[in-house]
Structure 1
């Protein structure tokens, strides 16, 4: 693993034990879980669909997708996160593929044609987010959809360019990305798209004041 990737993986592995304590990460609260399940159902085609969950973390969204009858494949750079995702899916009786890899440039083993490519709060962690968008669109089958759950956090860096881990490359969208900027980057790559605000406290387990939204784009 290259030095930058190893640094990023270590950064996230340090959070693996506590990651699911956040309401929107672990989806342990039934109301939060139900809110995400409803949104995922509205963003995805009828099951079964092949869904690539990029930056899958501990696999909470992949588990909901599997429960809805889809076939998720999870990719995350952090091995401890992926280990927990595997245990979560296996423990629920699902034989889903959860693999270690660069979500910005997914490994060939993940697959080459999906009905849905999904990512949540991932773009800010990537050194080349616009290149990643092009790769992700290229993984969609005709009529497929790209679902990006994103936002611009109140703690965003003024210049948006500092790294978040020792040895990692600067992140141009550090602190998140505004919907307008993401739509501008994505529009030339897709046939149509829509932006959906995500300010419902049920999704986060608390009220939020910063910008949160989903972009659903079709190819």
Structure 2
């Protein structure tokens, strides 16, 4: 049975308080933070760009984007995650929009036209990830970029994941096949560097960068 929005919100609200303890979530380690900042620069156009950060969580990537001169808009289904993201951005002196909403189909209030749509480890949480990808690509300006940081994990431990089509993540070849017909070009970059994750990784980690 597919999960409900309420069950997903409940799960991620409960995780919000400890979410940033993971090295790649909180980016508290200077080396991890620097590694993500470098990758974002290589994937995104020159600043300033309007970036929709979907499934923004506690806002760590949105903060890096703002620090690099971009204009991030964060969307997440979890109110507690969004509140932490908002606090993080405000504490750093940025007035970015951090909104509660369905990342798979963002409200027009979040915006309808972006230079970049970014998500990290979000697709596996969605009931219809392929529909979400089509919707996201529709939000891109001509020449805009879709940046998907994804991976494939053997066993998901989230209690609601069994009802999801891409539970445990999605492999790079599969995701590339889905995205390629919808965009002008697609490239896949493996992300095995342990510095990004704060530990060695033995599963598939990668980014897909596609041009609209």
**What's the TM-score, normalizing by structure 2?**
0.96
Q: CA deviation at 1:185?
A: 0.7
Q: Which moved more, 1:3-12 or 1:91-100?
A: 3-12
Within-5 A mapping of 1:181-196: 181-196=174-189
> Distance in 2 between the 1:56 and 1:82 partners?
8
* Root-mean-square deviation (Å): 1.4
Which position in structure 2 is the counterpart of 1:200? 193
SS at match of 1:99: strand
Counterpart of 2:95 in structure 1 is 95
Separation in 1, partners of 2:80, 2:89: 14
- Aligned counterparts of 1:99 and 1:30: Cα–Cα separation in 2: 27
The count of residues paired between Structure 1 and Structure 2 equals 210
1:160 alignment counterpart: none
The answer to whether the 8 Å contact 1:4/1:169 transfers is no
Return structure 1 stretches of 4+ with deviation > 4 angstroms: none
Q: How many Å apart are 1:203 and its aligned residue?
A: 0.1
Matched residue, 1:38: 38
Shift of 1:147: 0.1
Once the two structures are superposed, residues 38-61 of structure 1 have per-residue CA deviations (whole angstroms, 9 ceiling, x without a partner) of 000001100000000000000000
Q: CA deviation at 1:6?
A: 1.5
Alignment map for 1:1-219 (pairs within 5 Å): 4-156=4-156, 164-165=159-160, 170-219=163-212
Any unmatched runs of 5+ in structure 2? none
- Deviations, residues 104-160 of structure 1 (Å, cap 9, x unaligned): 011110100000000000000000000000000000000000000000013259xxx
Structure holding more helix per residue: 2
How far 1:7 moved relative to its partner? Answer: 1.3
| Separation (CA, whole Å) in 2 of partners of 1:18 and 1:112 | 32
Contact map agreement 1:127 1:169 (CA 8 A) in 2:
no
* Partner SS for 2:163: coil
CA shift, 1:191, in A, is 0.3
* Aligned equivalents of 1:63, 1:154: Cα separation in 2: 30
Tell me the CA shift for residue 164 of structure 1: 3.7
Q: Tell me the SS of whatever aligns to 1:183.
A: helix
